[in-house]
Structure 1
Amino acid sequence: MSVEPLSIPQKSALAFLASSHAALSRDHQTIWSFHEPSWREYRSSQWYVDRLRAEGFEVEQGSAGMPTAFCARWTNQAGEGRGPVVAGYAEYDAVPGQSQVAAPHRAPRPGTTKHAAGHTDPHSALGIGSFAGFLAAKHAMEAHGIAGTLAFFGEPAEKMCGSKPVHAAHGYYDGLDAAISFHPHSFNALTNGVFWDTTSAPYWSKIYTFECEAPETWQNESHGGSVAHAHATARAPGAIDAVCLMYTNSKLMKESMLPHTGTWTLNEFIPVAGQAAADNLAPAYSQIQYSMRAPTLEMCAAAFTVLDRNAAHVAAMTHCSVSSAWITKTRSGLPNHALAEATYRNFERVGAPQWSEKAKEFARQGQRHLGHEAMPEPFIDNMTRLTPPAEAEAAFRSQLPAWQLNYAADDYVDYTWHAPTVRLYVARPTLKAPPSGARYPEWLRHAMNGDPDCIDPMWSKAAQVISMTILDLMTDPSILRRAQAEFRERTGGGIGGSRWVAPLLPSDFQAPTGYNWPEWVDTPRGREWSIL
C-alpha cells in the first residue's frame, strides 16, 4: 500500500522537531528529574506554564481550582475563518516508591530514598512528546498562515485519574473540536498505533475517613473496676481498628461485590492510620482510599454500594463516625474511527521509532547485571513495527468477554465525551524475556525512562505523529467533518444527546488536593519523603 506524501506544513513541523530535538531532550530530563507525585507536581507544572507563556500561549494557571493544573491556548488568525480548536495535554506525575537512577543497576536517585517517586509510564516523556508535537504544529501554522486554536492542558495526578474529570466537570472541554491523547505503549499487542473499538474503562475512587470523637462514651465507666483510673476501663476500638476492619472485611467480600466475569480490580491505600501514640488512648483518625477499574459504570456503582455499607457497619463496631468523599469518577472511553484512521495514516508516513546501538547496550548492561545473558537484540520486536488498528483490536477481543468494550483505565476518557478523541500509542523501551521466561524487575524499565538514548525515540516519534495530525485537522475539513459526524452518532446527537454521558462529578467539585498524599516536605532535619 502506498503512503501519502507529506504536506508542506507537515514537512515544516518535522523539520522543527529535528532542529529542536537536543533542546527537547534536555527538557525531558528536566521533568524526569523533578519526579513529583500526584497533586504535588509544583515544579513540573510551573515549568510547563513558563515555557508555554514564553511560546506565546495564554495560560490559566490552577485551572478548575487545581494548583498544579493549567489551561493554555494559542490562536492563529488567518483569513476569515477561526479554524478548529484542537486539544492535547501533558501529564507529569510520578509514582511513590519507584525512585530509580537512569543507570542499569538498582539505585534510587541521588539524594532520595527508594520510597521517593519515579516516572514509570513515564509521564515525563508523555508530556514532552505531546508538548513538542503542539509546538511543532504551532510553528507550521505560523509559517504557513494556517488558522486554528491549540488548547494545551496540564493534567496532574493521572495515576489517580485525577484532573481530567475535574476539568470536564468545570466545562474546560466544552467547545473543543478534536483532541489527541498520547500514551507510551502499555500493551505489547499495541506498541505503535491507535485504539479502535476497545477503549479505556471507568475508574472510580473514594476515600473513607473514620473518627473516634468521643471514646469516653464507649462503655459505662462504672464498670471499670475498683481502681478509679481512666486507663483501667475498656477503651473504644477507635480509628485504627476501623481502618483494619474496613480493609480486611472488604478484602473478604470482594467475590461478593460483582459477578465472576469481566476484568475488574479494586485497590486500597491507607494514607492515615491512627494519629495516636501507642498508649491506652483510642486512636482518633484514620483513612482508607479505594480505587476501582471496571468495564462499566454500573459495576463501579455496585462495588461502592458494598464499600459504603461496610464503612457504616465498621464505624458502628469501632465507636467511630465515618464520612466519605469522591477522589475521582471517570466515564468509559468513546472511540472515534475517523480520527484514529487519520492519526494512524500519519504514523505510516513517518514509520515506527528505531533504537540506537547505545540504547541496546544500556539494555544489555541491565540484563548482565541481573545475571542474564545479554541479547544481540534486547528489545521486543514490536517496538520497531507499526500495529494496524485491526490487529490490535483482535488481540484485545481475544482475551475479553464479548460484552466487555472497555479495558484498563485512564482519565483521558473524559475528553472523548466532549470532542472526537484519538488514543495514540508509541513504543517505549521494553526488554525481551530471557530464555527462562523470568520477569525483569520494574527498576530496569524505569531506569530506561531516564536514559535519553532509550526514551527519546518514543516521545520524539509521538511528537511527529501528533504535529502532523493537528495540521491535517487544521487544513483538511473533511477529516474533522467525519470525526464529528461519528461523535454525534455515538453520543446520539453530540453533547447532551440521547446516548451522551455527562461528567460524573458535579460542576462545583473541588479537587482532592488537601489529603495527605505522599510528597517531599521540608523539616528542620532537611528534606524528607513523607506519608503522614
Structure 2
Amino acid sequence: MPSTAQATALNHVEQSAEDLSKACQTIFNFGETAWREYESAAWYVKRLREEGFAVEEGSAGMPTAFCAEWSNGDGPIIGMYAEYDAVPGNCQAATTYRTPRDGLGYQAGGHTDPHSGLGIAGLGGLLATKAAMKKHGIKGGLRFTGEPAEKVRGSKPIHAAAGYYDGLAAILSFHPFYMLPMCNTVRWDTHCGAAYSMVYRFICDAPETWGTTDTPIPQSHSAVRAPGANDALNMMYHASKSLRDSMLPHQGGWSISEAILTAGQATADNLPAGLAEIQYMMRTPDIAMAEQITAVLDRNAQAAADMTGCRWEKHWVCKSRPGLANHAIARTVWEAMVEVGPPIWDDRAKAIAREIQKNLGLAPMEDPFIPEMSRLIDPEAAEAILRHDLPPSQTNSTSDDYTDMTWHVPTARFYVARPALAAEPGVTYPSWVMNALGGIPATIDPMVQTAAKILAMSAVRLLEYDDARDAAMAEFQARTAQDPIPPLCDYDPPINFRWPEYVTTARGRDWWIPKDMDGA
C-alpha cells in the first residue's frame, strides 16, 4: 500500500489531469526538432519558475537546455527530466486522418516517440513529488533537466560531462514504449548501448590547386578543376555504404545511418561546390565497436577529400556510453508500477482508434489496441525475451543517451505503453498513425497520467525509504568500480550546424522546406 505521502502524490497527478493534457498538446503542436526547440524550452522554463523552481537556462552551453532545482531542506535529491524534440518529416496533426498541422507541410517536425508526452509526464511526476514533499515535510530536493536533441543523442553526454547529474541520489528515466517486450516494465540487465554521431564537413576552398598543369588564366574554362565538396560527400557516402559489412562482425545489434545536412551551394557554370556535410549516427553495444567504425569513416573522409580537392573536418554530435544496470532501483520503480497499474484506454480512445482504422479502409476492431498496452510484464521476464536473440557476450542493445546518466547516479529506466493499434495479419499501419495517436488527448493522456504517477510514487519512495536509496547507491558504487568509463564528451555542443528548423521570412513562418514543395 502507498504511504500517505505517496497517496498525496498520486492524487496530485489525478487532480492535474486536465492541465497536463493541455500542456502535452502545447508541446506536441510546437513540433520543434533537435537543437532548435526554442519555444518548447521557453515554455518549460516559464512553467517551472512559476512553480517555484530556480532555473538555469542554456545549461552546459546548449541554448535549448535548462536545469531546474527546488529544495525542501537538506536531504537526498531526486532527478527527473524532460525531452521535447520532434523529428523532421513527421508533421502530423492530432487527427484520425493524415494531414499536417495547420499551415505546415509534411516535411516539418512532428513527435514520433512522442517526446511531447515524455516531457509532460516528467513534469507531472515532478510537481506531484514536490506537492507531497511540501505537505508531509519530506526533506530533500528535486532536479529537473531539459534535455534537447535526444533524437541525435545530443544533450545528456554534454550535461553528464559538465556535472549536471552529480550529487543526486537517483534519476528516474521514463520513455514511451517503442518495442516489445519493453512495455509497462523496467529495464533489468540489458540497458541501451553506446552511440557515436559526427558530422564530416568537406570544404573546397582552393580548387585551383587540384590540377597539375598551369594555364595562363587560372579561371580558364579549359583548366583542370577540383571536383569539389559535393563529389567528396558522394564518395564518402558510397564508400562507407560499400564498406559497412567490413566495419563490424555480423552480430551485436549495431547500426549505422547517415543524413546529408547540406548539399553544397548552387553555383554558376562549372564552379565546384565549396561546402558539403554528412552526419553519421551509429548504435553499438560497446565503445570499442564505435571506435572501430569511426576509424573507418575517418579513413574514408580522408580518401574522399584527397580525390576531390577538398579538406575535411570532423565535428562530434554525440559520444555516449553504454548503460549500467541497477537492480535495486529497478525493483523500487517496479513496485511503484505494480501499485499504479498499466494505463487503460476508455471507450473514447477506442472510438478514435476505430475511426483511424475506418479511414484507412480497414474493418474497425472491437478492441483496436494491442493487448500488451494494458498489461504489466515483470522486468526479469522482459529481460529473458529481450535476451533471446542476443549473443550471450553482448551486454547492451540498441541505444539512447539516458545511458550517460547511469554512470553518475543510480538510474531506473522504465517504459509505459503508448497507444498502438492492433492489426490483422498482413496489415501495416503508416507511420502517421502512431504520430497522431501521440497527439490526440483521449489516446495519449492515459500514458502521461500513468507515467507521471509512477515517477511520483517512485520518487517519494526513494525519499522516504533510506534502505531503498542505500541499496541503489551501494549497487551503483560496486558496478561503476568494476569497469569505470569516464565521460566521453570532449566537444562543444554542436548547435551551429544547419539543423532543420522553423524559419520566419517575409513570407511568414514556415518550415525550412516550404510546405508547397512536399506534395501537401
Q: Give the TM-score range, shorter chain.
A: over 0.9
Matches of residues 486-497 of structure 1 in structure 2 within 5 Å?
A: 486-492=475-481
Give the aligned residue type for 2:44.
Answer: Y
Matching residue of 2:357? 367
Map of 1:495 onto structure 2: none
Contact persistence 2:78–2:170 (CA under 8 A): yes
Q: Deviations for 1:96-138, whole angstroms, at most 9, x for unmatched residues?
A: 0000011111111111011000000000000000110010000
Write the letter of the residue equivalent to 1:504. L
Contact between 1:100 and 1:114, CA under 8 Å: does it hold in 2? yes
- Tell me: CA distance 1:123–1:229, structure 2 relative to 1, closer, same or farther (3 Å): closer
Instruction: From 122, 127, 134, give the equivalent of 1:130.
Output: 122
| 2:504 equivalent to 1:515 | no
1:499 aligns with 2:495: no
Residues 36-55 of structure 1 aligned to structure 2 (within 5 Å)? 36-55=32-51
Secondary structure at the aligned position of 1:374 is classed as coil
Q: Deviations over 1:339-378 (max 9, x none)?
A: 1101010111121110011111111111111121111001
1:404 Cα deviation from its structure 2 partner: 1.2
Among residues 26, 29, 46, which one is paired with 1:30 in the alignment? 26
Distance 1:403 1:229 in 2: 59
Shift of 1:531: 6.2
Q: CA distance change for structure 1 residues 229 and 138 in 2, over 3 Å: closer, same or farther?
A: closer
* CA-to-aligned-CA distance 1:403-444 (integer Å, 9 cap, x gap): 111111111001100000000100000111223x22110001
**2-structure distance, mates of 1:363, 1:405:** 38
- Give the distance between the partners of 2:92 and 2:283, measured in 1 at CA: 27
1:331 pairs with 2:327: no
Q: Deviations over 1:40-66 (max 9, x none)?
A: 000100111011111111110100010
User: Structure 1, residues 442-494: CA drift from partner, whole Å, max 9, x if none?
Assistant: 001100111000000001100001100100111100000100110011111xx
Task: Kindly indicate whether the alpha-carbon contact (under 8 Å) linking 1:195 and 1:424 is maintained by their aligned counterparts in 2.
Answer: yes
Q: 1:148 to 1:228 in 2, by over 3 A?
A: closer
What's the offset of the Cα at 1:250? 0.5
After TM superposition, list the pairs within 5 Å mapping 1:93-172 onto structure 2: 93-172=85-164
Cα contact 1:161–1:328 (8 A) shared by 2: yes
1:275 matched to which residue of 2?
265
Could you tell me which runs of 5 or more consecutive residues in structure 1 were left unpaired when the two chains were aligned: 493-497
Structure 1 position 416 matched with structure 2 position 406: yes
Deviation of the 1:525 alpha carbon: 2.2
What CA distance in whole angstroms lies between the structure 2 residues aligned with 1:448 and 1:228?
A: 60
- The CA distance in 1 between the partners of 2:223 and 2:206, in whole Å, is 14
> Partner of 1:74: helix, strand, or coil?
strand
One of 437, 462, 465 as aligned partner of 1:476? 465
Contact 1:193/1:387, CA 8 A, preserved across alignment: yes
Q: After the TM superposition, which residues 356-395 of structure 1 pair with which residues of structure 2 at under 5 Å, given as runs?
A: 356-395=346-385
Say if 2:108 and 2:513, in contact at 8 Å, map to a contact too: no
Could you tell me how far 1:180 is from its partner in structure 2? Answer: 0.3
TM-superposed CA distance for 1:205, in Å, is 0.3
Instruction: Give the distance between the partners of 1:433 and 1:299, measured in 2 at CA.
Output: 37
Give SS of 1:274's match: coil
Alignment-derived partner of residue 335 in structure 2: 345
CA contact (8 A) 1:276 1:284 kept: no
**Contact map agreement 2:208 2:218 (CA 8 A) in 1:** no
Map of 2:276 onto structure 1 = 286
Aligned residues: 514
**SS at structure 2 position matched to 1:513:** coil
**How far, CA to CA, are the matches of 1:470 and 1:64 in structure 2?**
25
1:71 partner SS: strand
Taking the aligned partners of 1:484 and 1:85, their CA distance within structure 2 comes to: 13
In the other structure, the counterpart of 1:251 is 241
- Checking the alignment, whether the CA contact within 8 Å between 2:54 and 2:68 is kept in structure 1 is yes
Q: CA deviation at 1:220?
A: 4.2
Matched to 1:64, the amino acid is A
Q: Which sits farther off after the overlay, 450-459 or 275-284? A: 275-284
Instruction: Write the deviation string for residues 119-168 of structure 1: whole angstroms up to 9, x where unpaired.
Output: 00000000000110010000000000000110000000000110000001
**Alpha-carbon distance in structure 2 between the residues aligned to 1:43 and 1:273:** 28
Query: What is the letter of the counterpart of residue 40 of structure 1?
Result: R
CA pair 216-228 structure 1, distance change in 2 beyond 3 A? closer
Measure how far apart 1:188 and its partner are. Answer: 2.2
Partner of 1:186: 178
Give the aligned partner of residue 439 of structure 1: 428
The 8 Å contact of residues 271 and 531 in structure 1, kept in 2 or not, is answered as no
Instruction: Check whether the contact 1:516–1:531 (CA below 8 A) recurs between aligned residues.
Output: no
Name the amino acid aligned to 1:139.
Answer: A
- 2:60 corresponding residue in structure 1: 64
Of residues 228-237 and 98-107 in structure 1, the stretch that sits farther from structure 2 once superposed is 228-237
Provide the residue aligned with 1:524 in structure 2.
Answer: 506
User: Aligned partners of 2:137 and 2:188: how far apart in 1?
Assistant: 33
Among 37, 61, 74, the alignment partner of 2:70 is 74
Task: Report the Cα distance in structure 1 between the residues aligned to 2:214 and 2:339, rounded to whole angstroms.
Answer: 83
Shift of the 9–237 alpha-carbon distance from structure 1 to 2, 3 Å rule, reads same
Please give the alpha-carbon distance, in whole angstroms, between the structure 2 residues aligned to 1:529 and 1:15: 40
State the alpha-carbon separation in 1 of the partners of residues 289 and 434 from structure 2.
33
After TM superposition, give the deviation of residue 260 of structure 1 in Å. 1.1
Rounded to whole Å, the distance in 2 between the matches of 1:339 and 1:373 is 44
What amino acid is aligned across from residue 44 of structure 1 in structure 2? S
Match of 2:222 among 232, 235, 250: 232
Does the Cα contact within 8 Å between 2:92 and 2:436 map onto a contact in 1? Answer: yes
3-state SS of paired residue (2:263): strand
- Indicate which of 445, 452, 461 corresponds to 1:463: 452
Shift, 1:277, TM fit: 2.1
Query: Match of 1:172, as an amino acid?
Result: Y
What secondary structure does 2:460 align onto?
helix
What is the alpha-carbon distance in structure 2 between the residues aligned to residue 220 and residue 299 of structure 1? 40
Q: TM-score, normalized by length of structure 1?
A: 0.95
Q: Report the residue type matching 1:356 in the other structure.
A: D
- Name the residue aligned to 1:8: 4
- Which residue is equivalent to 1:316? 306
Percent identical pairs in the alignment equals: 49
Partner Cα separation in structure 1 for residue 403 and residue 260 of structure 2: 27
The alpha-carbon distance between structure 1 residues 229 and 264, as it changes in their structure 2 partners (threshold 3 A), is closer
SS in 2 for 1:363: helix
Deviation, structure 1 residue 526: 2.0
Q: Structure 1 CA distance, aligned partners of 2:495 and 2:209?
A: 34
Task: Work out the CA distance in 1 between the residues paired with 2:172 and 2:219.
Answer: 67
Amino acid at match of 1:244: N
SS in 2 for 1:288: strand
Q: Distance between the aligned counterparts of 2:163 and 2:513, measured in 1? A: 33
Task: Please tell me the residue identity of whatever aligns with 2:479.
Answer: R
